[in-house]
Chain A
Amino acid sequence: MKWLAAGAAAAAAIFALIAPLLLKPFGIYLISMWAVLTIAALGLNLTLGYAGQVSLAQGAFVGIGAYTVALLTPVGCPFALAFLAAGALCFAVGWVLGYPALRVQHHYLAFVTLAFSTLVFLVLRNEEWLTGGIYGINGVARPSFFGWSTFKALNFYYFSLGMLAVLAAATWWMLRSPWGRAFVALRENPVRALSLGLDTRRYTLMAFAIGSSLGGMAGALYAPLVQFIEPVSFTLGLSFNLLLMVIVGGSGYFFGPFVGALIAVLLPEWMRVAQGYYLIVYAMLVMVMMAFCPSGILGLLERALKAFAPRGKEAAP
């Protein structure tokens, strides 16, 4: 089965590289959006799929990252620096939010992130002197690197795809390390993990902070992609959207966010006919999924493959 997964990933990678050459500008914009949202979803997958915590602030972190870049680059800050600043800021904020919230049980992080999301929106909307208020910030520039400009849609797409590849690789490497083992333990059997000396609180906090940081970095790419940002884009709606992406794709699966983001980007396009209904359909899809297959599309695929694949080596009694 591993060869199947590797083959599928390779095919998808080739497709991702070639497809934009065949697409119109709007299509290229869509897949650039997919790449950026996947980064945010990757982060949320860490928090939700690996550490088992619900965060309703991922959209707010995307917003913080976006505004960081939109405010720093016009005053001469190089994009790379602004990008790292966005990530670092969101890591710090995530840590500060998570530290008290994770001391308690009862999924308090969900409520704290819910409140934080609303708070961030209020600040973005009210502090006109900084953020431009409801008028937002216009004309966010697309970065250039050593003379190569990302201004053209195709160039920016390859830039976002490259960033996605780098961040995904970094996340993959982290999950292969003892940290990854700790996250699995945290998810599967936290009581047992604690008894083995695993500081569940510390690892959960770390997952949440890193996840939020990835959200900030996604935001840092979102700003130059859309070039006009306003507070309304970063409300709870985006956080919900990202959450549903992770769930539908398959929470806890590494490639879940990739699949989920694809569906989230394409669904509104497929449902152009039924404009406002796509969210309703999406929500119903998630509810049905939770009842029958909480592990999302990739979970369904895994189950299907196990059912049809030849029986593997079974442990002798």
Chain B
Amino acid sequence: MASFFQLLVSGLATGAIYALIAVGFTLVWQTSQTINFAQGEFVMLPAFFVLAAMNAGAPFWLAAAISIVVSIAVLGVLFKLAVVDPMLKYGVLPLVISTIALSLLLKEGAKEFYSSQAQPFPALVPAADIDILGAVVSTQSLAVLAVAIVTVVALNLLLNRTRLGRQMQATAQNSTLARILGIPVERMVLYTFLINAVLVAIASILISPIYLAKFNNGDTLGLAAFIAAIIGGFNQVRGAILGGVILGVLDNLSAAYISSQYRGAFPLVILIAVILLRPQGLLGRVEERTI
């Protein structure tokens, strides 16, 4: 029982990270019809920014802050202006292809320009185990959970309690209507990209101590983001959070109880099951049929 609890907590921690990635992915998709296939690589990259800053002499906290700023500039602004905007006039498909190419580019780039070896990454808190209700829980998991929860709560407050956030939600639901209401739609879209950049940077810093910073982290993380978004319901931010958490918990539990050889298969089976049985996801609405 104690070990189950430990798995649950660490599962929640991983799930919280998946949730952050999935939320960013969903937000970007909702507001600008951009399916960002490079989302996994977006999570892989900021860790390398941190390592590069630290190699240049910065202490961890400063390096993390620098990494977030650089992510906003590159994965937020540059991505939108240089990749998404020129492509949008051609429709969704060229943009999808472009982000697939981008994911390849970032992955190979990290491998060539930094290293193909997994790099150790500093943890947020020194590794230790503490006793909660008779179960042993790692401080790492708790720290990750804490940061992730704070981020999600902050995001929630931003989206629901500020004027800016409500404008962003309006843009996501119906951009034509939003434009008529006088909302600066292009700027709202830019903000979602910036938010995504912040979310992936935070997720990167949280997950790299566990996964180590490796150029191919994007493969598993990207897949986790897509599956979480689909499980929760492609058109819902709350769904992305729920999907991420469910995925993290199930993934961790399955690793313990199912053969490790097929460990990566569990999320894939869940995905196929969701698409077969409830394609709109747990929280999604059945979409208005236009085709």
Contacts and interface: CB of A to CB of B under 8 A. Distances in A.
Interface stretch (B68-76, B104-112, B162-170, B238-246): B104-112
Contacts of A111: 226-227, 230, 271
A236 interface: yes
A160 interface: no
A290 B105 contact: no
Contacts of B112: 276-277, 280
Nearest to A274: B112
A103 interface: yes
A260 to B, nearest CB: 13
A276 B291 CA distance: 43
B97 A103 contact: no
A200 B223 contact: no
A174 to B, nearest CB: 22
Q: Which of the listed residues B83, B104, B272 has the most CB atoms from chain A within 10 Å of its own CB?
A: B104
Nearest to A277: B112
Interface in B243-291: 261-262, 264-265, 267-269, 271-272, 275-276, 279-280, 287, 290-291
Interface string B69-100: 00000000000000100110010111111101
A107 B229 CA distance: 13
A122 interface: yes
A238 interface: no
Given A108-B275, A243-B97, A247-B97, A115 B108 contact: no
Given A103-B279, A104-B279, A279-B104, A290 B290 contact: no
A105 interface: yes
Contacts, number: 115
Interface in A83-106: 100-101, 103-106
A21 interface: no
Contacts of B287: 104-105
A247 B87 CA distance: 15
Contacts of A104: 275, 279-280, 287
Contact of B104 (A200, A283, A291): A283
A73 interface: no
B223 A118 contact: yes
Query: What interface size band does chain A fall in?
Result: 35 or more
Nearest to A101: B275
A268 interface: no
A286 B101 contact: yes
A64 interface: no
A52 B91 CA distance: 11
B101 A283 contact: yes
A107 B90 CA distance: 16
B39 to A, nearest CB: 12
Interface in B13-54: 35, 37
A287 interface: yes
Contacts of B290: 105, 191
A228 interface: no
Contact of A115 (B95, B96, B227): B227
Q: Which of the listed residues A101, A118, A244 has the most CB atoms from chain B within 10 Å of its own CB?
A: A118
A36 interface: no
A298 to B, nearest CB: 16
Interface in A213-253: 236, 240, 243-244, 247
Nearest to A117: B268
A284 interface: yes
A294 interface: yes
A300 to B, nearest CB: 14
A276 B37 CA distance: 22
B90 A287 contact: no
A108 B92 contact: no
B219 A236 contact: yes
Given A112-B275, A236-B219, A290 B98 contact: yes
Contacts of A107: 35, 92, 96
Contacts of A247: 97
Interface string A155-199: 000000000000000000000000000000000001100100000
Interface of B: 35, 37, 83, 86-87, 90, 92-98, 100-102, 104-105, 108-109, 111-112, 219, 223, 226-227, 230, 234, 261-262, 264-265, 267-269, 271-272, 275-276, 279-280, 287, 290-291
8 contacts: A106-B234, A114-B226, A115-B268, A115-B272, A118-B223, A122-B265, A279-B104, A287-B98
Given A54-B96, A279-B104, 9 more contacts: A100-B276, A108-B279, A111-B226, A118-B264, A276-B111, A283-B102, A287-B98, A291-B86, A294-B97
Give 7 closest A-B pairs by Cβ, nearest first: A283-B105, A115-B268, A286-B101, A294-B94, A291-B86, A283-B104, A104-B279
